[in-house]
Amino acid sequence: MCRIAAYAGPAIPLENIIICPRHSLLEQSQHATEAKLAVNGDGFGIAWYGEGGDPGLYRDVLPAWADENLTSLCRMVRSRLFLSHVRASTVGGTSRQNCHPFKHGRWTFMHNGQVPHFPQIRRALEQALPDELYAARQGTTDSEMVFLTLLAHGLDTDPEAAMTRTLAALGAGPAPVKLTCVFSNGHDVFAFRHASHGKAPTLYVSGPLDNGGRAFASEPLDGGAWDVVPENQIVTLGKPAVSQAA
Amino acid sequence: MCRIAAYAGPAIPLENIIICPRHSLLEQSQHATEAKLAVNGDGFGIAWYGEGGDPGLYRDVLPAWADENLTSLCRMVRSRLFLSHVRASTVGGTSRQNCHPFKHGRWTFMHNGQVPHFPQIRRALEQALPDELYAARQGTTDSEMVFLTLLAHGLDTDPEAAMTRTLAALGAGPAPVKLTCVFSNGHDVFAFRHASHGKAPTLYVSGPLDNGGRAFASEPLDGGAWDVVPENQIVTLGKPAVSQAA
Amino acid sequence: MCRIAAYAGPAIPLENIIICPRHSLLEQSQHATEAKLAVNGDGFGIAWYGEGGDPGLYRDVLPAWADENLTSLCRMVRSRLFLSHVRASTVGGTSRQNCHPFKHGRWTFMHNGQVPHFPQIRRALEQALPDELYAARQGTTDSEMVFLTLLAHGLDTDPEAAMTRTLAALGAGPAPVKLTCVFSNGHDVFAFRHASHGKAPTLYVSGPLDNGGRAFASEPLDGGAWDVVPENQIVTLGKPAVSQAA
Amino acid sequence: MCRIAAYAGPAIPLENIIICPRHSLLEQSQHATEAKLAVNGDGFGIAWYGEGGDPGLYRDVLPAWADENLTSLCRMVRSRLFLSHVRASTVGGTSRQNCHPFKHGRWTFMHNGQVPHFPQIRRALEQALPDELYAARQGTTDSEMVFLTLLAHGLDTDPEAAMTRTLAALGAGPAPVKLTCVFSNGHDVFAFRHASHGKAPTLYVSGPLDNGGRAFASEPLDGGAWDVVPENQIVTLGKPAVSQAA
């Protein structure tokens, strides 16, 4: 279980979401309150978009709270759209390649949840990828695989359909599949919560912040107005406003 | 607050203390039960003694549970006397130089506790060191400074007196000084618990283990016989047996 | 191009090969003389065998010369059979998963060379692996893939045949395939040099060292008697003596 | 011996100096041509100034060429004034605290050279610092000490005088003191070359770049007009133009 936060709106310093709020992502990395694991110390990552072109990516295997570079970057770098993630790995080694967000072209993706039967389906999922996406695989996580499968199934043109097809590709296993993910193409930020059984990992969407921007977060960042992101539908933060599509 | 474990006795794989027990040091790095902080993810370290000469030292800034090298080393390396530490830093950067144990010649030292007024006395303590120990300072922690001060006050010849003089050198501050430390010269392992007010951080000493060795640990490693290390006296694990000196 | 060294014989401290010789592996990491690149700073690794069971593995992404832990380990750890590697990556990220040696069960493997058309054959090679080896893949290097392909082709029972089949599986590309590799099952150390065109990367085998052990190294470690390992045949360092099989 | 580059002018992506030029700082980290050591793989760092306030700082112990984050940051981050450094350590451990640039308030500092008798004068230099600067010392390098000594001697108000006094404080040793340093207060970038005997480490200043900005670099970044920075005088890149003061 990990913690995630994302923002879209007028450009702000990254620290306004990641560090400064009372219950910022950095705070959640040490004191998460709505997760089984209170600590998310197995690496972190940020993807942020500038005026155009590909997003920047900054990931490391240290706990977020131990990285002095992160503090500096979050203070200096401003962005109109960014994703951030702190990781609590359940299995496997800690490497930058396994840290979220993942990036492919203009797309970025991060995930909180698990596909418990992933070891059984990993090979088939990888075989099903087109060559370009197969070659793009860098790590060994189920999360990166979900991202590449979404891309293979048309994330670029129809996120809803891509998600439906990806869930079908994951199939069912003995334990529930849980996916709470946030992803972006640089224009919009998409969020999706799903659990095949039981409850999906938490995700909230803010009302308009002081500057008109909006945010997603695993746990509300402050005492403002935060709504639970509904399950099984893609919620979008975009330039116009928040739209919801079933 | 950190977690520590140490062993003296017939040579055993390090994993017998650090990894295998039900409540091993590695387990305590993620699920400490007798500390304010359950997680100790700000680096770790091991010092171990061989047949003769200086001890080996292995320290890194990753959380102990994220380091695959550690698992391998603890399985392969056998030692008759070793110290191990997982760190939860309260202030300052995470660097190898600030990870315990510290080493100077044949001596090694690790610490759980804090000297809250250290910023006020740091300069005076450093000035008081003889040149050789001044040059040996590598990091910025209060813990390393306590070690060097012990050495300056005769740790090599009279650990009791060195501890008394070091506590005097630290003096009193507005908040309690708390020192639970374990240190060794390669022959014996010494432990000391102290709090100027309130309770010292926990430390337990085992009864004879299956192989006749004995151990210190912040929390008992298993369901065997573990006694609380009394405060304000140096407890020694040595080749003959456990001796206690007021 | 990387630098490698391996040893088999009476147990010695690792430093006797890796650090102490005049032209040790550590020295070669900064001042290689028989390679295009003089510096091998993209990580390093050691695999060593104890009395029985699986080998230990220690790998990190720092340059070997910057890792204080390495110095300590090489001084303290003794082994009767070990492999060591310093890496100069030509492409791709630096991660522990991509550092040599690779390990699978009792087998370890390290490599100096390249398969230039690897991007074109990677997917087919991975598909050809049996499930167990497919699941064991952790990184993205051609070197790890050569190792897994050797295992898939019977390394355990017939190293010669496995090598022949692996070379066939790699096939030919527009640029020469170059493989100089050293691998072990814990009993013997095998070396193999091959270039589809031109010269294979260097590898030397020592005469009997002072203690009767023998070593392989990319460049002679000292002024003693070192012979060039011939190309296209597996050379073995084992308990009886050095044997050569066509 | 290290390699350094700095820039002042209209805001540009950091990569325009650090990565893109034919003989960029990144290229110099692997293939320096005017230094004894061709490789500078012992960490790197960047300090960059935004609209106001303290500079950002990004330092790590990996070789610059192995850090994927660096590539991303240099592409995304724009700055009107920045310093960058790749390190080849001659002695001591590799830690972030020992990586250049160093930062204190608005000041940043980086250095190429050495004070060979530093071990003999270190304690006296540290004692001479005022309390605030003494407490600010984080690492163990001679370079950081030169920076703090400059600050103690009035860098903020009179860089020329501070440099003269700092050279006096360093004094003479059996081997030549060599200082080529670049530092900034966020308004101007200052450069200084000095050798007590022999030649100071190289430093060049560019003519006006395409966008009107100018740069310092250990080796010319491209085939444009680069002048040798004269020894023993502070050369300044500022908003008006390059000024030189004896």
The maximal CA–CA distance of chain D, rounded, in angstroms, is 47
**What is the C-alpha separation between D70 and A48, in angstroms, rounded?**
14
Q: pLDDT > 70: what percent of chain C?
A: 95
- Strand order of the β-sheet with A204-206 is A56-60, A44-49, A78-86, A3-13, A214-217, A204-206, A226-228
Reading the block at residue B243, the tokens are 């001796």
pLDDT of residue B89: 74
| B160/chain C closest Cα distance in angstroms | 30
Residues of B with CB under 8 A from a CB of C: 48, 50, 54-60, 68-69, 72-73, 75-77, 96
3-state secondary structure of C186: coil
- Contact criterion met (CB < 8 Å) for D72 and A50: no
Task: Tell whether the model's pLDDT for residue A242 goes beyond 50.
Answer: no
**Who wins on pLDDT, C88 or B23?**
B23
Q: Which of A39, A89, A93 sits opposite B68 (nearest CB)?
A: A93
- When pLDDT is averaged across residues B46-67 and rounded to a whole number, the result is 92
Q: Which of A158-162, B15-19, B46-50, C41-45 has the lowest mean pLDDT?
A: C41-45
Higher pLDDT, A77 or A51: A77
| Strand positions, DSSP E, A106-211 | 107-114, 178-184, 189-195, 204-206
Give the A:C interface size as CB pairs under 8 Å. Answer: 25
Of B68, C143, C43, C45, nearest to D66 by C-alpha is C43
pLDDT tens-digit readout, D167-189: 999 999 999 999 999 999 999 99
Nearest to B69 among C59, C68, C75 (CB): C59
Asked if A76's CB is within 8 angstroms of D50's CB, the reply is yes
- Report the gap between the CA of B10 and the closest CA in chain A (Å): 32
Most confident region among A2-6, B89-93, B95-99 by mean pLDDT: A2-6
Residue A76: pLDDT band (50, 70, 90) is very high
By C-alpha distance, the chain C residue nearest B75 is: C56
Choose, out of C14, C51, C58, C99, the residue to mutate when testing the contact with B (most B CBs < 10 Å). Answer: C58
Rounded to an integer, what distance in angstroms lies between the CA atom of residue A226 and that of residue C51? 60
Residue C92: band (very low, low, confident or very high) from pLDDT cuts 50, 70, 90: low
**Arithmetic mean of pLDDT, A84-107:** 86
Task: Express each pLDDT in C142-170 by its tens digit.
Answer: 999 999 999 999 999 999 999 999 999 99
Pick among A61, A72, A89, A99 to test the B interface (most B CBs inside 10 A): A61
User: Does residue C241 have a pLDDT over 50?
Assistant: no
Residue of B nearest to C59 (CA): B69
Alpha-carbon distances, residue A51 vs A76, A230, D131 (angstroms)? 16, 31, 45
Cβ atoms of C145 and C125 within 8 Å: the answer is yes
Q: Tell me: pLDDT of D240 over 80.
A: no
Average pLDDT (B207-223) is: 95
Indicate whether B175 pLDDT > 60: yes
DSSP 3-state of D58 = strand
Go through the domains of chain D in sequence order and give each one's CATH number: 3-245 (3.60.20.10)
Q: Give the three-state DSSP class for B142.
A: helix
Reading phi first (left if > 0) and then psi (alpha if -120 to 50, else beta), residue B228 is in beta
Chains with ≥3 Cβ pairs under 8 A against A? B, C, D
Residue C185 is classified by DSSP as -
Chains that touch B (3 or more CB pairs under 8 A): A, C, D
Q: Considering only CB atoms, which chain B residues are within 8 Å of A39?
A: 30, 38-39, 41
- The torsion defined by the Cα of D176, D43, B29 and B204, in degrees rounded to 10, comes to -10
Measure CB to CB from residue C57 to each of B56, B58, B72 and give the nearest one. Answer: B72
Q: Is A2 a catalytic residue?
A: yes
| pLDDT at D33 (0 to 100) | 84
CA distance C5 to C82: 8
* Lowest model confidence (mean pLDDT) among A125-129, B86-90, B134-138, B152-156: B86-90
The helix-helix angle for B142-152 and B159-170 (nearest 10°) equals 130
Q: Looking at the complex, report in whole angstroms how far the Cα of residue A135 sits from the nearest Cα belonging to chain C.
A: 8
CB within 8 Å: A41 and B38: no
Question: Which range, of A39-43, A164-168, B177-181, D130-134, averages the lowest pLDDT?
Answer: A39-43
Helix, strand, or coil (residue A162): helix
Three-state DSSP state, D195: strand
Structure tokens at D108: 């940043």
Mean local confidence (pLDDT), A188-203: 96
Q: D40: Cβ–Cβ under 8 A, 6 or more apart, which residues?
A: D1, D2, D3, D28, D29, D30, D32, D63, D64, D86, D87, D88
CB atoms C66 and D39 under 8 Å:
no
The more confidently predicted of residues B244 and B104 is: B104
Q: How many CB atoms lie within 10 A of CB A120?
A: 12
Q: Is C143 helix (H, G, I), strand (E, B) or coil?
A: helix
* Assembly ipTM: 0.91
User: Tokens standing for B33?
Assistant: 């039960």
Closest to D187 (Cα-Cα) out of D84, D85, D78, D51? D51
pLDDT above 60: residue A239:
no
Cα(A176)–Cα(A115) distance, integer angstroms:
7
Identity of the residue in C30, C38, C63 whose CB atom sits nearest the CB atom of D63 = C63
CB-based contact B56 C72, cutoff 8 Å = yes
Give the one of B127, B135, B138 whose C-beta lies nearest to D119's C-beta: B135
Of all residues in chain C, the one with the smallest CA distance to B76 is C56
Q: What residues in B contact A89, CB-CB < 8 Å?
A: 66
B239 pLDDT more than 70: no
Give chain A's contact residues with C (Cβ, < 8 Å): 93, 95-97, 119, 122-123, 127, 131, 134-135, 138, 140
Q: Which chain C residues are Cβ-neighbours of A59 within 8 angstroms?
A: none
Please give the C-alpha separations between residue C93 and each of A101, B67, D34, D77, D155, in angstroms, as whole numbers.
16, 19, 28, 21, 41
pLDDT tier, D245 (very low <50, low <70, confident <90, very high otherwise): very low
Task: Measure CB to CB from residue B63 to each of A38, A63, A68 and give the nearest one.
Answer: A63
pLDDT (0 to 100) of residue D95: 87
With CA atoms as reference, the chain C residue closest to A95 would be C95
Q: Per residue in D29-75, pLDDT tens?
A: 888 888 777 788 888 999 999 987 799 999 999 889 889 999 999 99
The sign of the torsion formed by the CA atoms of B122, B125, B131, B133 equals negative
CB atoms within 10 A of CB A53: 11
**Chain A residue set in contact with D, beta carbons under 8 Å:** 48, 50, 54-60, 68-69, 72-73, 75-77, 96
- Crossing angle for the helix pair D118-127 and D142-152, to the nearest 10 degrees: 40
pLDDT bracket for residue B93 (50, 70, 90): low
Gap from D240 CA to chain A (nearest CA, Å):
25
* pLDDT for position D92: 55
Instruction: Give residue C91's pLDDT.
Output: 55
CA C161 distance to own-chain centroid: 19
- The overall average pLDDT reported for chain A is 92
Nearby residues of A161 by Cβ (< 8 Å), 6 or more positions away: A153, A154
Q: How far apart are CA B43 and CA B36, in angstroms?
A: 18
**Residue C104: closest CA among C183, C17, C192:** C183
Rounded to a whole number of angstroms, the distance from the CA of B92 to the nearest CA of chain A is: 9
Residue A159, token pair as written in the block: 């996120």
**Nearest chain B CA: its distance from D140 CA (Å):** 7
Q: Which of D38, D42, D68 faces C66 most closely, judged by CB atoms?
A: D42
Q: Is the pLDDT of residue C234 over 90?
A: yes
Whole-number Å distance between alpha carbons of D146 and C169:
59
Nearest CA in chain A to B30: A39
Q: Which residues in chain B are contacts of A38 at CB distance < 8 A? A: 38-39
The string of pLDDT tens digits covering residues D140-155 is 899 999 999 999 999 9
Residue A142: pLDDT band (50, 70, 90) is very high
Instruction: Specify the higher pLDDT residue, C239 or A46.
Output: A46
How far apart (Å, rounded) are the C-alpha atoms in residues D186 and A103?
34
**pLDDT per residue as tens digits for the range B28-45:** 988 888 877 778 888 899
Mean pLDDT, rounded, for A195-218: 96
Chain A's closest residue to C92, CA to CA, is A138
Whole-number Å distance between alpha carbons of B218 and B2: 8
* Burial profile B222-237: b = 16 or more Cβ within 10 angstroms, e = fewer: eeeebeebeeebbbbb
Q: How far is the C-alpha of B218 from the C-alpha of B240, rounded, in Å?
A: 23
- Closest Cα in chain D, distance from residue C167 (Å): 30
Hey, how many other C-beta atoms are within 10 angstroms of the C-beta on D232? 13
Taking the C-alpha atoms of residue B215 and residue B83, their distance in angstroms, rounded to an integer, is 10
Taking the C-alpha atoms of residue D174 and residue D121, their distance in angstroms, rounded to an integer, is: 13
Q: Between chains, do A42 and B61 touch, taking CB under 8 Å as contact?
A: no
